[in-house]
Structure 1
């Protein structure tokens, strides 16, 4: 090939390469501001939000031993509130709505049946005992029952033995050697209600054995899914006051395993909670958790952890609304920042407990932007470099 032709070819390559370089420079200029990423860096995250931050009133708090917030359901981890509902009371007293069975026994001439035998050689007195059963005797709203030949007898606030003696006293002088037996056929007053996530919810009658909370939960068939022994929440109501605690906190026969009184209500619950992960994490997702206390370290692990190629481990943020009576809406937005490049942060993250609806954001590393620009540069310039190498 002649030298003039070679010079023309090289001049054309140079012009082509310069044109490509110019286009590459334009592309890189645009790429610096529009490099694809999984989210902003820590600086980008807040530089543009200063005005909005002043409006909303949120602040950034570095996680330290002095700034770790209280667990969201911390009160459920103790039985102190439940123990405050301890009360003495009786479970053998009758009340409105109770249904009784009354058996009356008489000798000789009886009020509830004839005691005379007529004919067959003369009249004679039948001295055998007679039994009259009165079923379905209900204590009315005023606390009274009504019986033939006796009238109204107060039953509410009295035991069945008190009512038995009152019946005998009412029949004395009207019947010969009257006796009575009173039993509770349907108990409404001395019952508790068990509901929620138990196998057999409903009303349970209390006995003189003095059942406790765990006794009636077991009698209701125990827990049913999705509740488990570690996630079930006990809501206990007595006389208009309510306490909640994790059921696992109760020890059989302990002060928290209260002796039950009529009218107590027991409900087994489970609260579905979740947090969301964004940014340069292993996976962007909503993660549900059932544990009473889920630590930040566990939450980050469930989210896949910081991405080794993109994440800035020094800037892991937790966004949440914290209850604050002084805030206009009763909630104050807070942002916690965790620096995982510090060894102490790994200990602190185990004490930092997640709240429902928390948002974890793993910031992108600044170097990640530069790396992506270099990748784009290589992608755009490699064809020109290869073409030049081939034509040499």
Structure 2
């Protein structure tokens, strides 16, 4: 029995030594957990390494703030009667005399067809001059023209008709069913109604963002907020530009994960646990669940709250550590928010390096077969 033990002792020791030596030089997907800790500020490095706890999750739970300004939300809905620049009007003027200013002997009415409201909001009416039409209803404009003509012809009667208009339109582009220019009409005076008119969105609602550009002002919201917050369903104005696009935030996944890539967000609020699941989860034979790291440049204000300091200047390099094997580890990973341009890095388990070393030594045979070979049996 002793001879058998002695017979196996040297090969096993040889394998152990070779494995340890080989593991020191074997390639890996990135730094080990100990190397990351060695580069911390606490060890004269250049990054703060912080273990995630409930306080850290609260301090770092920052998500993009989207919304419309009060100028957008307070705008009233346009009525169908409001005249705007670009509209085309039809006017008919009756005069209570046989030979009036505008009418002839054969008729006491004078039609003025296709009178366009200019870019400043005015129209020209003979003998009434330049009259402001924009912002008025047809009835208000009728009264104003009547008042101006009364000074020159007795008891004029004026009819104002709205024929068409290109001033009350908005453009809708991006990820919608039908891009184009659409008029603001009775059913499409609000943002949600206009998006429906454009065929709705053709991307996942969870990550759809809607931008409205009005002159020099711009507002952006999540598409789903249109239905959760009615005040964001703003009234439209002629010339508004509406853009629907996907959320462009991404994070980078590296290390011992199922995939290494730049990964787009699939939800508005992405947690570390969801990010791991989104890339296929950890690799059971290679990942170290005690070495899940999130790397980011943290604004000084947030970094100060995390570290309990008020002397930080500028963005700080932060490395947040998640240990999924702890009793509270999965809950912390569920609550820790991933942000745009974060790097999610998972270290390799020590066993993975040992397996690589054994595979290198064995040359494709199983460790037990090689032990047997080395033993000379």
TM-score by length of 1: 0.73
Asked if structure 1 preserves the Cα contact closer than 8 Å seen for 2:37 and 2:49, the reply is no
Name the residue aligned to 1:309: 285
**The residue matched to 2:56 in structure 1 has which SS?**
coil
Q: Partner residue of 1:274?
A: 250
Q: Which among 94, 109, 114 is matched to residue 130 of structure 1?
A: 109
Question: Is the partner of 2:28 in helix, strand or coil?
Answer: coil
Contact 2:273 2:334 in 1 (8 A): yes
State the partner residue of 2:7. none
Aligned to 1:41: 32
CA shift for structure 1 position 346: 0.9
Contact 1:214/1:252 (8 A) holds in 2: no
SS in 1 for 2:244: strand
Question: What's the counterpart of residue 222 of structure 2?
Answer: 246
Native 8 Å contact 1:311 1:364 kept in 2: yes
Question: 1:339·1:345 contact (CA, 8 Å) conserved in 2?
Answer: yes
Once the 2 structures are TM-superposed, how far is the Cα of residue 241 of structure 1 from its aligned partner?
A: 4.2
Alpha-carbon spacing, 1:171–1:94, altered in 2? closer, same or farther (3 Å): same
- Quote the Cα distance in structure 2 between the aligned partners of 1:153 and 1:336: 67
1:215-274 deviations in Å (ceiling 9; x for gaps)? 1111222113xx232221122345744332211122289223233345554332212333
Structure 2 partner of 1:344: 328
Structure 1 distance, partners of 2:116, 2:277, is 65
Is the contact between residue 109 and residue 175 of structure 1 (CA under 8 Å) also seen in structure 2? no
- Residues 339 and 213 of structure 1: CA distance in aligned 2, closer, same or farther (over 3 Å): same
Deviates more, 1:275-284 or 1:198-207: 198-207
Match of 1:64 in 2: 53
Q: Name 1:365's counterpart in structure 2.
A: 349
Name the stretch that deviates more: 93-102 or 304-313.
Answer: 93-102
Structure 1 residue 133: Cα displacement:
2.7
- Report whether the alignment pairs 1:294 with 2:278: no
Does structure 1 conserve the Cα–Cα contact (< 8 Å) formed by 2:76 and 2:235? no
Matches within 5 A, 1:372-383: 372-374=356-358, 376=360
For this pair of structures, how many residues does the alignment match? 354
**Unmatched runs of 5 consecutive residues or more in structure 2:** 1-9, 304-311
2:309 corresponds to: none
The answer on whether the counterparts of 2:93 and 2:111 sit within 8 Å (CA) in structure 1 is yes
**Quick one: which of 245, 254, 259 aligns to 2:235?**
259
CA distance in 2, matches of 1:298, 1:135: 60
Q: Is the 8 A contact 2:296 2:343 kept in 1?
A: yes
Would you say 1:322 and 2:298 are equivalent positions? yes
| Number of the residue aligned with 1:114 | 104
Contact 1:110/1:130 (<8 A) preserved = no
CA contact (8 A) 1:195 1:267 kept: yes
Structure 1 unaligned spans of 5+: 1-17, 117-127
Matches within 5 A, 1:31-180: 31-47=22-38, 49-50=39-40, 57-68=46-57, 70-71=60-61, 73-76=63-66, 81=68, 85-89=72-76, 91=78, 93-106=82-95, 108-116=98-106, 129-139=108-118, 141=120, 143-172=121-150, 174-175=152-153, 177-180=155-158
- Which structure's CA Rg is the greater one? 1
CA shift in 2, pair 1:372/1:266, >3 Å: closer
Paired residues of 2:259 and 2:279 also in contact (CA < 8 A): yes
Q: Deviations over 1:47-68 (max 9, x none)?
A: 2x3589967x421121111111
1:292-351 Cα shifts (integer Å, max 9, x gaps): 122211221232322222222111111123344799996433211100111211112122
**Contact 1:190–1:263 under 8 Å retained in 2:** yes
8 Å CA contact retained: 2:287, 2:346: yes
Distance 1:74 1:365, change over 3 A: same
State the superposition RMSD in angstroms.
4.1
Alignment partner of 2:224: what SS? helix
How much does 1:374 deviate? Answer: 4.8
> TM-score, normalising length from structure 2?
0.75
Conserved? CA contact 1:71–1:293, under 8 Å:
no
* Counterpart-to-counterpart distance in 1, 2:376 and 2:302: 71
Distance 1:73 1:99, change over 3 A: farther
